[in-house]
Structure 1
């Protein structure tokens, strides 16, 4: 069994320099620990190249701006830091996590404008997010928690605070023997899983929830382009819960999840069919080109 994430060998990039893995620490009174004032990116490297790396770096800066966390690094500097970490840890196939947050400073209430913004980059080997689900299809619970309205929080940012209900939903799903949970949005439409976007197949066409109150994932966008290149019609639209019964196939997309077929959501069953397998194989080939 692997060591705890705070007890490993290697290097982590923090605020412009590499530090020993076990020394990559912050103070207890770090603002982000108390108020979730942080944003992040999760990325995968294949054969030494981070897939869509610059898009992730650009989205990190966008997320920071959305949450009033001005990240003091350029896209080029973030890119350099990511590859410096991979080189320092001798990684070729890896998961890369970039995190920016409000640190300790003069403010310890809700406001934190005077506190410095810090950034760190870590990378490690990480296998299939859903284990053997790529072969037999993941099993999903249906969460009681809903994705929030855009009027309540900057929901298009990749912000740490947005994931708390995802953690709760996934814990509840795992307690039921499921890999993950599907979430509805605040209006009751099908939205996404706790850390992945969703696609469905019916009569040879693909249907995917319209990302108007949740993250339009980079892997989601990549998958849509792949499907369109294959001549498959993709319908981005609001999907009602009762439509789940009529869909034939389903899969998840995300940087960690990659493309993972789904075999069951609650009481609804799906075939791990030809289209789901084909798009998973096509994605695997694309990221290693």
Structure 2
């Protein structure tokens, strides 16, 4: 599949029906377009099976509730819809995007309780998120934007509005010749990349930021479990910027990123070491079981 995302062959599931790809449209006065009243999930299918699919559907429902709307489909119905989309795509390995949003309706101000909640699911081919970084390690900039306090946003929802500063940060990083940017949180602690969680290695132990103001990713949780199963000590804690100089290895985790080694963050460099490669390879095997 190639071309713009609005001009492709295939089908997208919308509100209970399979719709031809090019006809899967919304009105210009859709509330989500104006006020970011939208939540989504990014999922990957391997060998025809979506990895941890049900966990993603459950999180989509929770995210909607966190931003004050209810998705009018059960988890089982969402699971059935994803299976239908994957079958229609003809793909065995695919990226799956489920999205729910407040549509166009009687309200067109900040309040939108009268507007219908819409749901759509699409699937497409999507290769390595960071290109060849899986071999040599991604290069990251350091963003000027910070993850905000959970007192200001529903930070554990996978909500579209929370990604605005991520888009800005990634654009700035790419302009500086980097693949992505690392972000600090509102207190100045190391937080995450723009769309992936981050891990560090020092003296055989792993350190990863405590997800108390950003998304605790499903891939992050999977990798933490893999490390603990290997008997590796994992410190989930607040990490200060000055600690970056003492870490030996680094990697990112996310549905799109999978497990991607990091070779550089700003002026700090890291080796693509044995543990990083082991976790990346083991994750690849796990998702295809």
User: TM-score normalised to the size of structure 2?
Assistant: 0.99
Q: Tell me how far apart the structure 1 counterparts of residues 225 and 110 of structure 2 sit (CA, whole Å).
A: 41
Q: Tell me how far apart the structure 2 counterparts of residues 35 and 80 of structure 1 sit (CA, whole Å).
A: 29
Q: Partner of 2:123 in structure 1?
A: 123
SS at match of 1:242: helix
The offset of 1:2, in angstroms, is 2.5
Query: CA contact under 8 A between 1:38 and 1:69: conserved in structure 2?
Result: no
SS at match of 2:173: helix
Q: Is 1:109 aligned to 2:103, yes or no?
A: no
The offset of 1:29, in angstroms, is 0.2
Q: Partner of 1:251 in structure 2?
A: 251
Deviations 1:45-88 (A, max 9, x none): 00000000000000000000000121000000000010100111
Q: Partner of 1:176 in structure 2?
A: 176
Q: Partner of 1:92 in structure 2?
A: 92
The offset of 1:6, in angstroms, is 0.2
The offset of 1:262, in angstroms, is 0.1
SS at match of 2:224: helix
Q: Partner of 2:142 in structure 1?
A: 142
The offset of 1:5, in angstroms, is 0.2
Q: Tell me how far apart the structure 2 counterparts of residues 13 and 277 of structure 1 sit (CA, whole Å).
A: 37
Query: CA contact under 8 A between 1:139 and 1:179: conserved in structure 2?
Result: yes
Q: Tell me how far apart the structure 1 counterparts of residues 92 and 69 of structure 2 sit (CA, whole Å).
A: 31
Q: Is 1:50 aligned to 2:50, yes or no?
A: yes
Q: Tell me how far apart the structure 1 counterparts of residues 212 and 97 of structure 2 sit (CA, whole Å).
A: 25
Q: Tell me how far apart the structure 2 counterparts of residues 69 and 44 of structure 1 sit (CA, whole Å).
A: 26
Aligned structure 1 segments of 4 or more residues deviating by more than 4 angstroms = none
Deviations 1:252-287 (A, max 9, x none): 000000000000000000000000000000000000
Q: Partner of 1:167 in structure 2?
A: 167
The offset of 1:182, in angstroms, is 0.1
Q: Partner of 1:20 in structure 2?
A: 20
Q: Partner of 1:153 in structure 2?
A: 153
Deviations 1:194-233 (A, max 9, x none): 0000000000000000000000000000000000011100
Q: Partner of 2:34 in structure 1?
A: 34
Q: Partner of 2:67 in structure 1?
A: 67
SS at match of 1:207: strand
Q: Tell me how far apart the structure 2 counterparts of residues 33 and 99 of structure 1 sit (CA, whole Å).
A: 13
User: TM-score normalised to the size of structure 1?
Assistant: 0.99
Show structure 2 runs of 5+ residues with no match.
none
Q: Tell me how far apart the structure 2 counterparts of residues 241 and 204 of structure 1 sit (CA, whole Å).
A: 20
SS at match of 2:87: helix
Q: Is 1:221 aligned to 2:213, yes or no?
A: no
Q: Partner of 2:83 in structure 1?
A: 83
Deviations 1:18-61 (A, max 9, x none): 00000000000000000000000000000000000000000000
The offset of 1:91, in angstroms, is 1.3
Show structure 1 runs of 5+ residues with no match.
none
Q: Partner of 2:284 in structure 1?
A: 284
Q: Tell me how far apart the structure 2 counterparts of residues 276 and 137 of structure 1 sit (CA, whole Å).
A: 10
The offset of 1:89, in angstroms, is 1.3
Q: Is 1:11 aligned to 2:23, yes or no?
A: no
Q: Tell me how far apart the structure 2 counterparts of residues 80 and 4 of structure 1 sit (CA, whole Å).
A: 27
Deviations 1:146-184 (A, max 9, x none): 001000010000000000000000000000010000000
Aligned residues: 289
